[in-house]
Amino acid sequence: MPWLFDEESVEVARHFTRLKLRLMPYLYEAARTAHTEGVPVMRAMVLEFPDDPGCAHLERQYMLGPDLLVAPVFSDEGDVTYYVPEGTWTHFLTEETVTGPRWVRERHGFLSVPLLVRPGAVIPVGAVDDRPDYDHAAGVTLRAYGLRHGDQVTVPVGDVTFTVVREGDTLRASCGDPAAPWALATAGREALAPTGTGSLRLETP
């Protein structure tokens, strides 16, 4: 219970709890996959990257679902070293990028952690950060990371399925049954679809 320590502990717990609740659309789908297919939510790196010898013996980092890399910080100073597989990965919290395969060394404070998005992923981010049991599709933002020309990603969000496609410098997202506003975002840009709009277009930088 963080309030038994100090106010800073409470703020750290609050910060990451809100992050978790915003990620509920993504976590819910990862949990559904664990239930239906037996693939765990928290995955050893080698499970997602069996052909990368650098991932064979990693024990201090993991994949959270298929697209988020997490490297917990274990040192008092906040220093952490982790391995990044091939491709250009994006820090979810800062949008800074790092290209692998290589080892990375960083220092993090209490309100930060290595949380990287896999290239070619689309992460659904919810609009609510004070409870887990909300309509995940209502106000969801589809954050696209490193999609290349011709890539097409299907994004289940509860009972609603979105499709995101990159065509040249344009991202197109569609939803067969939009029940609420939703948004498409990439590299600091965002476009909002009003209620009832089934498709959206966003020019990439």
pLDDT tens digit sequence for 44-88? 999 999 999 999 999 999 999 999 999 999 999 999 999 999 999
Q: Cis check for the bond before 101: say yes or no (omega within 30 of 0).
A: yes
Single out the residue of 26, 61, 28, 31 nearest to residue 47, CA to CA: 61
pTM beyond 0.85: yes
Q: Which two tokens stand for residue 67?
A: 């697209």
pLDDT exceeding 70 applies to what percent of the chain? 98
- Count CB-CB contacts under 10 A for residue 83: 20
Q: How far apart are CA 163 and CA 153, in angstroms?
A: 6
Cα–Cα dist 199/156, whole Å: 15
Q: Which residues of 52-68 are buried (b: 16+ CB within 10 A; e: fewer)?
A: bebbeebeebbbbbbbb
- For residue 43, give the H/E element and its range: strand 42-43
Domains, the chain: 2-117 (2.60.40.1180), 121-203 (2.60.40.1180)
CA dist 199 and 172 (Å) reads 7
pLDDT at 152 over 70: yes
* 9-39: pLDDT as tens digits: 889 999 999 999 999 999 999 999 999 999 9
| 138 residue type, one letter | A
* Terminal alpha carbon distance of the chain: 44
Res. 195: pLDDT tops 80: no
* Residue 101 confidence (pLDDT) above 80: yes
pLDDT at 135: 94
Cβ density class 151-182: b for 16+ within 10 Å, e for less = bebebbbbebebbbbbeeeebebbbeebebbb
